[in-house]
Structure 1
Amino acid sequence: MTMEFWLPIALSMKVSLTAGIIVLVAGLFAGKWMSRRRFRGKTILETFFMLPLVLPPSVIGFFLIILFGKNSPIGKAIEALFHHPVMFTWWAAVIASAVVSFPLMYQSAKSGFESVDEAVEGAARLDGANEFQVFFYISIPLSMKAIVSGAILSFARGLGEFGATLMFAGNIPGKTETIPTAIFVAIESGNMTMAWMWVLVTIVLSFLLLLCSTIFK
């Protein structure tokens, strides 16, 4: 196999793993915070969290450009801090993957935390455990199946992200070219052999990830 074949695969794994870690942490805390609270506007906030599941990738890519572009306050702050814009870097691909995969992690984590018996958490508090101890030693272990399933699904979603990544990170070989964008370019250039090889890799990886997710349910 040539380096041309392996580079998009290696970058996709790197991007998906990084995005997966970000989404795991954010999904755990957001899921826990939303699982027990009742407040005005909760439905609207939860709908906002789930919005990336139904928005077209081009819309997500558009908003990422608006938020992190060179003319935005966030974009200017990042460029001043790192002396380089975030757009058209592998970090842009990470952000795009994290945004589209967050709803899956959040929903799984929230469902897992809601299934934990409140009496068990309450008993731990009565024994002197603080909220962080309850969270890490009671809530997370008792929700582990849902958390692992959500982490696998969000990783798989990030691995297959295409539209927002193409708009926000571009398709720079060896830098921002992931498997989906590599397939797109291969088809456009008529290199069907390479396209088929990446397609088969994607199918195998997706099948294994979904199988693992089913096992952990």
Structure 2
Amino acid sequence: MNARGYIPRWLAVPAAAGLLFLLVPLTALVARVQWSTLWSDVTSEAARSALVLSLATGAAATLVCAGVGIPLALLIARSSPRVAAVLRALVTVPLVLPPMVGGVALLYLFGRNGWFGGLGLPFTTVAVVLAQVFVALPFLVLAVEGALRSTGVEIERAAASLGASRGTILRRVTLPLAAPGIVAGVVLCFARAIGEFGATALFAGNRPGVTQTMPLAIYTAFNGGGVGQGTAVALALMLLVAAIAVLLLVRGWRPSVGAA
């Protein structure tokens, strides 16, 4: 069987152009890294603060997303097609919205004059986590929901016919079968959380040590403040490495389509 199909060979030219358009800017970024000072750049006080804050808030946001996202994915996967389509569309909205719009929405919800303005959340570390949850949750939900739909319900029905309770079926059948999708969703969610910029900048601000995550530190450096540009480039390289690691992890947990 010819897995490569029969596409015209000339399509390789625009395809190569598209690939180069994605890779050349990243190559330019790597070329600007000052390797001799890389370690000192990423271990400077400002860089460590942004790095630790990004990892801590990203981990917290991922835990929140897992806590609410896995049940939401289960609900979508086991709903009727019409209900599932509506719920899936609602979950996908943050993916297509500009992140700044998400920040505005969070401000109107938790800001001084918002519905929950008395909580005093804007421009705090908690606001960073909330912004990250808003933009990262769809990645986890859609990954887990896809895994749950692919497993079907036949084994669950067999377990129910043998007398297993709903809770037992969830713990012993449903979640283990969807484990690769759950892991992929969690990894993608964490990567999106630590890379979040727009909603965080608007809702949480850019206070060093409080709300200044790695993306915000990079932005500030290239606007004449905060960490130096060498440190900013080093942080950008760390985000690039993290993104590559995420892709490798997700690939490792997803079996190939053509696998036996």
Per the TM superposition, whether the score is higher than 0.5 is yes
- 2:234 paired with 1:202: no
**How many corresponding residue pairs?**
210
Equivalence for 1:82: none
What is the 5 A alignment of 1:126-141?
Answer: 126-141=161-176
Letter in 1 for 2:52: A
Q: Distance in 1 between matches of 2:79 and 2:242?
A: 37
Which of residues 12, 32, 40 is equivalent to 2:54?
A: 12
Equivalence for 1:174: 209
Equivalence for 2:4: none
Q: Which runs of 5+ in 1 are unaligned?
A: 80-84
Task: Quote how far apart the aligned CAs of 1:54 are.
Answer: 0.7
Q: Distance in 1 between matches of 2:83 and 2:104?
A: 26
Which of residues 118, 127, 131 is equivalent to 1:92?
A: 127
Q: Which runs of 5+ in 2 are unaligned?
A: 1-42, 255-260
- 2:199 paired with 1:157: no
Equivalence for 2:139: 104
Structure number with greater Rg is 2
Q: Distance in 1 between matches of 2:67 and 2:101?
A: 25
What is the 5 A alignment of 1:31-50?
Answer: 31-38=73-80, 41-50=83-92
Q: Distance in 1 between matches of 2:224 and 2:55?
A: 24
Identity of aligned residues (%): 32
CA contact (8 A) 2:76 2:87 kept: no
Other structure's SS at 2:80 match:
coil
Task: String of CA shifts for 1:27-77, please: whole Å, max 9, x gaps.
Answer: 21011111121175543332111111110011111101011112223232x
TM-score normalised per structure 1: 0.92
4+ residue runs over 3 A deviation? 39-42
Task: Quote how far apart the aligned CAs of 1:127 are.
Answer: 2.3
Other structure's SS at 1:115 match:
helix
Q: Please tell me the root mean square deviation across aligned C-alpha atoms, in Å.
A: 1.4
